[in-house]
Structure 1
Amino acid sequence: MEKVSIKCKVAVSGNVRAKLLYSKDSFCFWGGADPQSGLIRDNRSDCYEKNMAGQVFAFPFGKGSSGAGLVILEQVRLDCAPAAIINLRSDPVILTGPLIAKHFYNKSIPVVNLSEEDYEKLEGAKEIEFFEDKDYIDVYY
């Protein structure tokens, strides 16, 4: 596999390497994701009927509900949350899920932000690796 390192802004740190689920669409966890399975239920999403559980979920922006963090927290409790999240700009409401999961469940869900140019480089990638103490991610093609 070819590896490329991409500089990022870390919102929530953690170590993980997982397969990538890449979307070009903004995403709303409340109603858009099944909190009991991780399945994407929003039929307008380019990831419709794909499962985010255990994968790095990349979507440019969050949209919608103030309940997004609660959906992520419930996914963590039921072991079907994304392994990590990549955005262009993370919504504070989405960040509440990974931040609280660290404290309540001792589960780390890294969240990073990329430039628009670097975000587009994710298309076609297979896996992403995050590092607790680094300001970059490794992208595997």
Structure 2
Amino acid sequence: MLCAGDGAGEILWLDEPLSFWGGTDLHSAIITDIHHPQHGISLAGRVMVMDASRGSSSSSSVLAEQIRAGVAPAAILLASRDVIVTLGALAAAEVYGIRLPILLLDADAMAGLPRTGAVAVSSGPGGSSVSWF
């Protein structure tokens, strides 16, 4: 667990790393990076799966503001530790009292995730879980 919280939504696998700053719209969380394979898709309310983010440390402030505005992903599942994304979620939890769960998953756990459908993520002091239905 990188950041505690609970979230559920349709899973969204990102084919490439994404920068929240310059790669997503601050107000809608739509992917605006024209070179990204998922260009035009909204992250809002989705359980986002990616290897890692890309780009600037400003991504943490964009993610924190998307969390505050209610347009952020419902949860983020990462294949590698990402300090910038985690910092954005931790800042939103501290400043706004809104939690966005971020989990670090190993290769086997990532491979076991569904490619489509609804996913629920829960993470806290008692442990973390990812389930789908």
Identify the residue that residue 101 of structure 1 maps to in structure 2. 92
What is the alpha-carbon root mean square deviation over aligned residues? 1.5
Gaps of 5+ in 2: none
Show structure 1 runs of 4+ deviating over 3 A.
none
Letter in 2 for 1:90: R
Match of 2:131 among 135, 138, 141: 138
* 1:92 Cα deviation from its structure 2 partner: 0.6
Q: Over residues 31-59 of structure 1, what are the superposed CA-to-partner deviations in whole Å (9 max), with x where a residue is unaligned? A: 11111111001122222100001111111
| TM score, norm. by length of structure 2 | 0.89
Identity %: 25
Q: Equivalent residues in 2 for 1:42-81 (5 A)?
A: 42-81=33-72
Question: How many positions carry a matched residue from both structures?
Answer: 131
Q: Over residues 64-116 of structure 1, what are the superposed CA-to-partner deviations in whole Å (9 max), with x where a residue is unaligned? A: 10101100011122221111111101311111111011111111100001122
* 1:123 Cα deviation from its structure 2 partner: 4.8
Match of 2:108 among 117, 127, 133: 117
Letter in 1 for 2:10: K
| TM score, norm. by length of structure 1 | 0.84
Identify the residue that residue 76 of structure 2 maps to in structure 1. 85
* 1:20 Cα deviation from its structure 2 partner: 1.1
Q: Contact 2:68–2:98 (CA<8 Å) still a contact in 1?
A: no
